[in-house]
Chains A and B, each alone.
Chain A
C-alpha cells in the first residue's frame, strides 16, 4: 500500500513553495516510491552500522594554518544582491 505522507509539512521543512497541483502529484508519486523503499524494513538481523564510508578512514584533521580567502568582489559579483560588502536578503522573520 502506498505510504501516506503530509506533503505540505515536508515541503515546508524543505523550503519548497509548491502549487496545490504539484503537491498532489508529488504526494502520490512519493507514496508509490516509499512503498517500494519500505522494503528495507524486510531486512532480518541487526547488522552493525559503522561509518558510511567503505575504507574505514577516520581521524582526519588539518593543521591550524591560515590560507588565502576569496576575493570579495568576485564572490559578491555572483550574488543576487549585495551592498557595501554585504550580501543582502529580504528581512528574516525568525531566528
Chain B
C-alpha cells in the first residue's frame, strides 16, 4: 500500500485515523520486498517482532496512550546497535549469529516512544568504511543508481530511508558515517554533539568520536527522531547531563541575522564541480534570506584527516581487542589460547578492519606513540582552538558534505587512502565533538544527490537546525529515486 514517506506525515495520518501502525509497517515491508534484492539495505528484517510492535502500538494509541511523534513509526537500526534477542553482527563474521542479552539505550528509548523496529541495516564492518562495501555479508547499493555505493558506513540505513523501506533510521557517525551516506542518498543525516546521545549499546569503533544520530527524509523528521533518542544516560560516563537544545522549536526561525561561515579549506582540488556549484548557489540563497556570509579559514582542517586516521584506528585497535573467540562470536580453534585468539581474529575480521587494527596498534606502540598518536591529539586540540576562534565570529559553518557524489561500486576498494578522502569534510566535527548535519540540495547532471553540511559549535543544534531547515526550504528537494524492479 502507499503510505506517507515522512515521519511527520505518517504521525498525523495515524492520529487522524486514516491508517494504522500495521498499515505503515505493511507499506515499508512492501517497499523492502520490491527493493532489497537491488539495494541490500537490510541485514535482517524482523518481520515477527515488528508485527507485534505495530499491533501493540495500534492498541496503545486506541487506548488513548499516545507516546508521541514516533508512536507506530517503522524505524530501521544500523546493525552496530545492540538489540535484545535480535542478531547483531556489525556486518562482521566475528559476530555472526550473536544475540545480545541487552538493548542499547537508544533502542530502549525508541521502544518506549512506541517506534516499530523494522530490522537491522547493513554497514561497513564495524563501521569502518565510506561505501558499505566492507560488509562481510555483501555490499549495499545506492537507490539512485544501483551500480554505485550508498556511502558509508551507515549506507544500509541511508539506502533504506531513501528507498522508503523505513521512515527513519539510526546510524552512527565516527568520521562522517551518517552525513556522507545521507549526502550520497539524498537524505538528511545528523551527527549530534558528542555526549548528547548515549553510546551505551553502540558497538564501539572509536569511543571518543562515535555518536549515534538519525537519518530521515526531512529536517523536521530528523528533529523528531533526535529528540526521541538523546538525553542524559547514567550508563554512559561521557553523557551530557545539562540542558538540551530545543531543535523542533527552531525549525521555522529562518536565517535572517545569522552569520554563516564558508570554510575555505573544504573546497578546491578533489571537489567535483557540480558539488561546488550547488553549495555556492545555496550559500547565495542563504544570503538572500538575510544571512551574513563570511569566508573563514581553519588551517588545522588540512591535517584533520591525518589525525583522524591515527586516533580512530588507535581507539579501534583497543575496542576490538575483545573479539577473541572466548566469550561470544566466532572461534577458530588452536592448540593454545593465544593461537585460538590469533586465528579467530585473523580470520574473523575483514581486510579494512584488520588494516585499521594494525594501523592503530602501530600508532600506540612503544617508540611511535609520541610521533603518531600523541601528535594526533595535539592536532585535535588545534582543531578545537581553530573552531573556537571561528565561532567567535560566526554562528554556523557550511561546506559540501562529501567532495563527490556517489561513486561507482568497487572504484575505491583497492585504494584505502582514496576511500579515506571521502570523509575529508566530515571529520573535523567528530574530532571537535561538535554537531553537524547533511541536507540534500539537489542532483548533479547524472541525477545523483548532492548534500550540504551545516556545522555548529557543541550544543549548537538549535542554530544548526535553523540553517538546515532554511537550506531544505531553499533547495525544495522532493526528488525520489526510481529503483529498477528486478524480475523474480
Are A40 and B208 CB-contacts (below 8 A) given A30-B358, A32-B417? no
Counting chain B residues whose Cβ lies within 8 A of the other chain, the interface size class is: 35 or more
B338 nearest CB across to chain A (Å) = 6
Q: Say yes or no: is B362 at the interface (Cβ < 8 Å to chain A).
A: yes
Q: Say yes or no: is B240 at the interface (Cβ < 8 Å to chain A).
A: yes
* Interfacial residues, chain A to chain B (CB-CB below 8 A): 5, 7, 10-11, 13-18, 22, 26, 29-30, 32-34, 36-43, 45-50, 52-55, 57, 60, 62, 70-71, 74-75, 78-81, 87, 89-94
Q: Which of B102, B240, B346 has the most CB of A within 10 A?
A: B346
* Interfacial residues, chain B to chain A (CB-CB below 8 A): 98-99, 101-102, 193-195, 208, 234, 237-241, 300, 303, 305-307, 309-310, 317, 321, 324-331, 333-343, 345-347, 349, 354-355, 357-359, 361-363, 365, 371-372, 375-382, 384-385, 416-417, 420, 432-434, 458-459
Q: Which of A26, A32, A41 has the most CB of B within 10 A?
A: A41
Whether A40 pairs with B379 at a CB distance below 8 angstroms is yes
From the candidates A5, A18, A52, name the one contacting B362 in the complex (CB within 8 A). A5
Residue in chain B with minimal CB distance to A61: B237
Whether A52 pairs with B377 at a CB distance below 8 angstroms is yes
From the candidates B99, B341, B365, name the one contacting A15 in the complex (CB within 8 A). B341
A9 to B441, CA, bound (A): 48
Which residues of chain B are near A70, meaning CB under 8 Å? 101-102
A27 to B167, CA, bound (A): 43
Whether B357 pairs with A47 at a CB distance below 8 angstroms is no
A38 to B334, CA, bound (A): 37
A81 to B325, CA, bound (A): 9
A78 to B95, CA, bound (A): 10
Which residues of chain A are near B371, meaning CB under 8 Å? 38, 41
Whether A17 pairs with B417 at a CB distance below 8 angstroms is no
Whether A13 pairs with B361 at a CB distance below 8 angstroms is yes
Whether A14 pairs with B381 at a CB distance below 8 angstroms is no
Whether A90 pairs with B238 at a CB distance below 8 angstroms is no
A59 to B347, CA, bound (A): 40
Are A55 and B377 CB-contacts (below 8 A) given A70-B101, A79-B327, A90-B337? no
Whether B357 pairs with A14 at a CB distance below 8 angstroms is yes
From the candidates A13, A16, A43, A52, name the one contacting B346 in the complex (CB within 8 A). A16
A91 to B338, CA, bound (A): 9
Whether B306 pairs with A53 at a CB distance below 8 angstroms is no
Are A47 and B378 CB-contacts (below 8 A) given A10-B362, A17-B345? yes
Whether A39 pairs with B337 at a CB distance below 8 angstroms is no
Could you list 9 examples of A-B contacts with CB < 8 Å? Answer: A10-B365, A15-B324, A16-B357, A33-B355, A52-B380, A78-B99, A80-B325, A89-B340, A90-B333
Whether B337 pairs with A11 at a CB distance below 8 angstroms is no
A55 to B195, CA, bound (A): 8
A27 nearest CB across to chain B (Å) = 9
From the candidates B98, B195, B238, B309, name the one contacting A37 in the complex (CB within 8 A). B309
New A-B pairs, 13, CB < 8 Å, besides A30-B359, A94-B338: A16-B354, A26-B355, A30-B358, A37-B309, A37-B363, A47-B382, A49-B381, A50-B381, A52-B377, A54-B434, A55-B458, A78-B328, A90-B335
Whether B336 pairs with A40 at a CB distance below 8 angstroms is no
A-B complex: 6 closest residue pairs judged by Cβ atoms: A54-B433, A80-B331, A17-B346, A17-B342, A47-B381, A52-B208
A78 nearest CB across to chain B (Å) = 5
Are A55 and B325 CB-contacts (below 8 A) given A40-B306, A41-B375, A74-B101? no
B24 nearest CB across to chain A (Å) = 32
Which residues of chain B are near A87, meaning CB under 8 Å? 326-327
Residue in chain B with minimal CB distance to A80: B331
Whether B433 pairs with A55 at a CB distance below 8 angstroms is yes
From the candidates B325, B337, B362, name the one contacting A91 in the complex (CB within 8 A). B337
A41 to B399, CA, bound (A): 26
Whether B376 pairs with A40 at a CB distance below 8 angstroms is yes
